[in-house]
Every structure is written in structure tokens, then in C-alpha cells.
Structure 1
Amino acid sequence: MEENNNIKRLIQLYFGKRFSRSGRILFGRWLRAEDGMKEKTAALQNCWEESVTDVTEETLEDWDGLLRCLQPETVFQQTVLSFQRKLKYAAVIALMLLTGAATFFATDRLKPARHVEMAELFVPYGKSRQVILPDSSRVWVNAGSLLVYPKDFTDAETRTVYLTGEASFAVQKDKEKPFIVKTTYLAVQALGTLFTVVSYPGDSCTSAILEKGSIKVDVRSDEHQSEILKPNEQLIYSHTAHTVTVQPVDASLYRLKRSGYLIYENVPFSLLMSSLERRFNVTIHYNSQKYAGESYNVKFAPHETLEDVLNVLHQLVGIHYKIKENVVFIN
């Protein structure tokens, strides 16, 4: 049941335009994967039933073309859809076209030259997960994040994974196959190291933090030279200013974060609230202008509840709040 809810939420997030271009590409890979196909199909049908969309012969042609992209040829030839079923899913394709999904099927620059079976891990709000990759590298994936990776690195030249959200990586050494984490704006390469990448949709920046070893960080727009980070350094790329900043940081704090701590150092109120929304699976309403321009430093233990956190913020910042089910109102 939880897995079905995760699939529904991921598809709802997509149609709600919550993903960046890279996120849409990752969504496309996840949608094409065979795992959970029955549940994905049911969720897409539910999207159609809740929408009002006109279906034309041109839409049906788009549907047939999309099937050829989604499935291997042998599978497509064995798939026989009734005209009525085509109508239903063609409506979903129309929704995808309206939300820009056609771009990642037509221009997926991340698509490998050969077929690679991909696995995906979507972590909903209020959760965190650990996963062991095929090369025995360990990944801690934070709430509201999507990680897509090959099920087998054997024949690949690199060990490339794709991230939307936040994750920490403990990478196994393999000099012949560099380990690369790709996000919308950054490509982070490591040979054997421990680091964190933060790349949430909607955030104003993407960052990479190094705890051990060495990583090379490239801005994917090729506007900047590669940066080599040393332990206890953080690279921040601004999405709006297109600037790169490297600064010292206490990387040991990220070890505590993997243990469940919430740690904020010089973060704006908006990022603090976004993080709490992901951690506690709530929606927080507040006056963004009232708290603009201020930075906050605070730490919360793993056992502290949402109300504990808000009480601390009340004492430190002076906020007044009201909780109604899974919605928080801050005055």
C-alpha cells in the first residue's frame, strides 16, 4: 500500500510541474522501468479519469509514437490495445505534452547509447532511505528525493547516477570507472570518497559537500571551470546569478544528518521551512517578506517532533504557529 501511495505521489508531483528538466528526465526513466508497471498504469489512468481532455486522431498518433519510445520493440509488437484504452491513455499523453514531458522523450541527453536497465528510489516526505548500489557504494537518500541508477555497472564506462533532491554517497573506489552524480546543474565526480549533493527543485542553489576523499564538480552549462574540493569544503552554485562559491564547512555535521539530526547553519527562513516540510510531511504557510533577509542557526535531534521543533523556533525566533492536521500556519 505504501509503495502504491509513493507511485501516486510521484506522478502527482510531476503533473504539478514540481520537477526541473533533469527531474523530468529522471521521471521518464522511472516511468519506463518495468518495476511497478501495473501500479504506474493504474495511477496514469486515474490522472485521465480526473482530467478533462479532448482526444483527436493526432493524439492517438502521439500515443503510438510514445509506446515505441517506452517499450522495447518485441514488447510493443505483443501489446494490443483496444481503441477505448487508447483513448484513455492518449488523454494522459495530452497532459504530458501540456506539461512539457515530450522534451525528455525526444531530447533525453542522459540516455545511454545501449539499453541499460535502470532502478529508481523515490523517498516521500517524512521518510529517508538507504540503498546499496551494484558496486557496493552506499547512498543515504533524504525526504522528497528521487535517485535513478543502473541496475548493473559491469559494462559501463562510468558509474553514473541521477539525483533530484538530497543524498549522501559513500563511494567504493574504482579508478577505471569514475562515480558521477548528475543533477540539473552539477555533475559531481568521485573515485572513492564520502560526500553529499543537495539539488531540490525550487531551491535557489545546488550544492556539493565533501567529507572525505576528493571530488571534481562541473557546472553542466560549461560556464565555469571544474572545481576540485577538499574535505570540509562546500561548493554552491546559484541558479539565478550563475555563480560558483567554494567555502569551508563542518562536513561532520552531515554525518549527524544521516543519523536523523536536522542541522541548519546560516540558512534563510525559506530553506528552513522547506526542509521541515520534507521532514515532517506537512505544508507550512508563512509571510515570506516578514522573514526575508535573515539567516538561522539551529539543530534538532532525531526524536523531536514537529511541535517540538516549532516550540524551539517560537523561543528562538518568536514565531507563533497553529497546526491543523498536516498544515502549519505561522504568523
Structure 2
Amino acid sequence: MKENDVRNMDLTSRKAGEGSGEDERLLMMLGEALGDMPDDEETQKAWRQFEARHGDAGGSRLRLRRIFISAAAVAAVVALVVAFVWSDIVGSAGVIETFAMAELPSHTSRVADGDNVVVQTPSATTSDVLLPDGSRVMLGSGSRLEYPSDFGQNGVREVELTGQARFSVRHDAGRPFVVKSGNMSTKVLGTVFYVRSYHGSASSVVLLKGCVSVSSEDGGKGRMLSPGHQAVIDDKGDIKVEKADMAAVGGWTHGEFCFDDSRLEDVMNDIGSWYNVGIAFHSRSLLSVRIHFNFPRSVSLADVLQALNDLGVAQFRYADGCISIEQK
């Protein structure tokens, strides 16, 4: 080999060695760009800087370009797999929506619908209703009650409820009183009880005094309640009877949120039904967190959320008609 050739080769090798640090920096830029899923302009800029350092080294440039294309393909596959796995993880955890916002009137309305009367309440409002037989109903926030304008002298006194209400039923042994609500039917002769049945939530009956029979809409065997107990019916029509938290159940009739050692899910669903806002939990473990929360219902939703955040058990945020509950 000629001396000039050797000298030129050494010079080329030395220049390549001197530029190796810069080459590595540019390749790392390309790698980082791939990892960060760059736009085309960022990728091309990094590639042009790398090519500029090597001039027209055609074969090497072609090999590097092939390496780059292969790396990009691998990165794209990895990104796709990661995205799929992450999507699966998020989907399995998911957001647990326990209460849904509904379309409500702006004020309490009473309208005739054929032979029936329909009463509807807006959010953060209660309304007293006197039925044709003398029974009384206190209708809760965001609720709808439909009943006949005349029960007649024979047969069943039947009403339909969406939302919640406190019933004080006038005793009449010859005419049972029936409340249809969601997938649940409650039958009484004369008593005082609460019914809660909002769309998307489990239906429940709480007995204050007297005796009631609760059954599913499919006509299954009814369950008898004794005072101080509640029946909760799930989507499958199964009925669970348990002791009720009477202060929490009746708090809305006194203008209070009254919860002592109650599940956070129950507290938030009550808040959601009062203010007509959606409730979404971002952690399943938060559903069963137990809290004490006593607060007036006359305050704004912002004040309630501030009080909840002050408890320090979770993070409560309101946006677009929904309260999100997340881990702190």
C-alpha cells in the first residue's frame, strides 16, 4: 500500500474516531426520537445531521438507513404492543361510574297525563305530595312520581317512582298500596318507609315503621322487612336484607347529609342524586372507604367538595357534570 494511501486511511480513521462522540449523540437523538414517537420533521432533522458528518459514504449510509428503518419498525411494533397492554390494563381497571346525571326540569312540575298525575322535581329540591287516598309522599331531588288521580274504592293503590321518596301510607286493609320502582315492587297496607330507585343504581326500601313486602319485578318471592331494616335489589333481581343506617337514609328529609362510618360510594351517590351530577370512581378500593360526613344540603356543590377534600381520604374534582374521585 502506498504511503499516501496509508496516511489518508489513518486520517480518515482519526476523523471517524474524533467524530464518534458526535455520531453517538446523533444516533441517540434518533433513538430518543423513536422512543418519544417524534414527528417527521424531528426525525429527518436528526438524520440529516448524521448524514452531514459522513458526506457521500454511499454504502455506509445505505446500511445505516436500513438499520434506522429496521429500528423504526421495531420501535413501532414495541410501541403498539405497549399501547395494547396499557389499554388492556386501563380497561380492566376502568372508571367505575356509580351514578349518572339525568335531564331534570328547572322547577317542580305537576301535570296531568290522562287519568294519572305526574310530579317531577329538579336537583337540590324536595316536594310534598298528597295522594287521593290521603297518603303523603315527600319526593326527593331529581325524582318522578306518577299516580292515578283517583284510586277508586276497590283494587290496588299503585304508584310509580323514579328517584327517592318517603311514603306515609294511609291504612286500608281492602286496598293494598304498591310502589313500582325500577326492578322492584313494594307492597304495604299502611306504614312509613323510604324508597330509592334512580336510573343506573340499585333499588332499595327502608322501613321506618309497620310492615312491607319487597319483591323483584319478575314476580319472585317477596321478602318481609321489619322496622330499621332495608332491602336492596340488584340487577339480577336478588334481594339482600340488612340493618339500615336510619340517620343516613332520612337525612335528606331534614336538609342534611348525615353519614357516620358510611361507605364512600353511598355518600357520593347521595351527593350525586341531590345535585344531579355524575359520580365516577377511578379506584375500586375507594368505594368501600368509610367516612363520617355531616353537612347541610343548602350549600353549593363547591362547598361540599371542599369539605370532602378536607377529609383527606381522596381527591374530589368536578368537571363537565361529573365528580371524579381519585387516590390522593
- TM-score, length of structure 1 as denominator length: 0.58
Residue aligning to 1:234? 230
Structure 1 pair 157–273 and aligned structure 2 pair: CA distance change class (3 A): same
Structure 1 pair 266–147 and aligned structure 2 pair: CA distance change class (3 A): farther
- The answer as to whether partners of 1:259 and 1:302 remain within 8 angstroms in 2 is no
Q: Distance in 2 between matches of 1:317 and 1:168?
A: 33
Q: Cα distance, 1:287 vs. partner?
A: 2.5
Q: Give the letter aligned to residue 214 of structure 1.
A: C
Gaps of 5+ in 2: 1-101
Residue aligning to 1:143? 141
Q: Does 1:33 align with 2:113?
A: yes
Larger radius of gyration: 2
Q: Distance in 1 between matches of 2:182 and 2:322?
A: 30
- The answer as to whether partners of 1:168 and 1:194 remain within 8 angstroms in 2 is yes
Aligned 1:65-104 pairs, distance under 5 A? none
Aligned 1:3-18 pairs, distance under 5 A? 9=103
* Matched residue SS, 2:141: coil
Residue aligning to 2:254? 259
Q: Distance in 2 between matches of 1:32 and 1:263?
A: 35
Residue aligning to 1:246? 241
Which protein has greater RCO, CA pairs closer than 8 Å, 6+ apart?
2
RMSD over equivalenced CA pairs, Å: 3.0
* Matched residue SS, 2:303: helix
Q: Does 1:119 align with 2:124?
A: no
Single out whichever of 246-255 and 140-149 deviates more from structure 2: 246-255
**2:302 paired residue among 292, 296, 307:** 307
Q: Can you list the C-alpha shifts for 1:237-279, whole angstroms capped at 9, x where unaligned?
A: 1224x43211122435544431111234665544433332332
Structure 1 pair 276–216 and aligned structure 2 pair: CA distance change class (3 A): same
- The answer as to whether partners of 1:126 and 1:143 remain within 8 angstroms in 2 is yes
Q: Cα distance, 1:141 vs. partner?
A: 1.1
Q: Cα distance, 1:174 vs. partner?
A: 0.9
Residue aligning to 2:78? none
Q: Cα distance, 1:144 vs. partner?
A: 1.7
- The answer as to whether partners of 2:247 and 2:259 remain within 8 angstroms in 1 is no
Structure 1 pair 328–199 and aligned structure 2 pair: CA distance change class (3 A): closer
- The answer as to whether partners of 2:155 and 2:175 remain within 8 angstroms in 1 is yes
Structure 1 pair 315–179 and aligned structure 2 pair: CA distance change class (3 A): same
* Matched residue SS, 1:139: strand
Aligned 1:41-190 pairs, distance under 5 A? 117-190=115-188
* Matched residue SS, 1:148: strand
- The answer as to whether partners of 1:207 and 1:235 remain within 8 angstroms in 2 is yes
Residue aligning to 2:289? 294
Structure 1 pair 257–127 and aligned structure 2 pair: CA distance change class (3 A): closer
- The answer as to whether partners of 2:137 and 2:166 remain within 8 angstroms in 1 is yes
Q: Distance in 1 between matches of 2:313 and 2:290?
A: 14
Q: Distance in 2 between matches of 1:141 and 1:255?
A: 12
Q: Can you list the C-alpha shifts for 1:135-170, whole angstroms capped at 9, x where unaligned?
A: 111111111211100011124411100011111101
Residue aligning to 1:61? none
Residue aligning to 1:208? 205
Q: Cα distance, 1:183 vs. partner?
A: 1.5
Residue aligning to 2:191? 193
Q: Distance in 1 between matches of 2:282 and 2:294?
A: 23
Q: Distance in 2 between matches of 1:230 and 1:146?
A: 27
Single out whichever of 254-263 and 119-128 deviates more from structure 2: 254-263
Residue aligning to 2:267? 272
Q: Give the letter aligned to residue 113 of structure 2.
A: A
Structure 1 pair 288–123 and aligned structure 2 pair: CA distance change class (3 A): farther
Q: Distance in 2 between matches of 1:291 and 1:252?
A: 22
* Matched residue SS, 2:286: coil
Q: Distance in 1 between matches of 2:111 and 2:130?
A: 22
Structure 1 pair 131–228 and aligned structure 2 pair: CA distance change class (3 A): same
- The answer as to whether partners of 1:210 and 1:251 remain within 8 angstroms in 2 is no
Q: Give the letter aligned to residue 198 of structure 1.
A: R
Q: Distance in 2 between matches of 1:252 and 1:286?
A: 25
Structure 1 pair 327–187 and aligned structure 2 pair: CA distance change class (3 A): closer
Gaps of 5+ in 1: 1-7, 12-29, 35-116
Q: Give the letter aligned to residue 314 of structure 1.
A: N
